[in-house]
Amino acid sequence: MGAEIAAPQNDTTTKIGKMIFYITCAVSLWFFYWFNGIQCPC
């Protein structure tokens, strides 16, 4: 909902948003595999 309000600074907001989104995805995947590695004794 807040994206429409920040329309004038669209470019910067989009870049920062995508950066945060991709970093969050990468950290989530890494943590998922790391946690699975700890759980699995093989």
Residue 19, in any domain of the structure: yes
**What's the pLDDT at 15?**
93
Rounded Cα distance between 1 and 6, Å, is 10
Write the DSSP assignment of 25-41 as a string of letters. HHHHHHHHHHHHHHH--
**What's the pLDDT at 4?**
58
Residue 33, in any domain of the structure: yes
Residue 3, in any domain of the structure: no
pTM: 0.53
Q: What is the pLDDT along the chain (42 residues), one digit of tens a residue?
A: 555 555 566 788 899 999 999 999 999 999 988 887 777 665
**What's the pLDDT at 40?**
62
Residue 1, in any domain of the structure: no
Residue numbers of the domain that contains 17: 12-37
Q: How far is CA 14 from CA 2, 5, 37, in A?
A: 12, 13, 34
- Number of structural domains the chain divides into: 1
Local structure of 22: helix, strand or coil: helix
Residue 5, in any domain of the structure: no
Residue 20, in any domain of the structure: yes
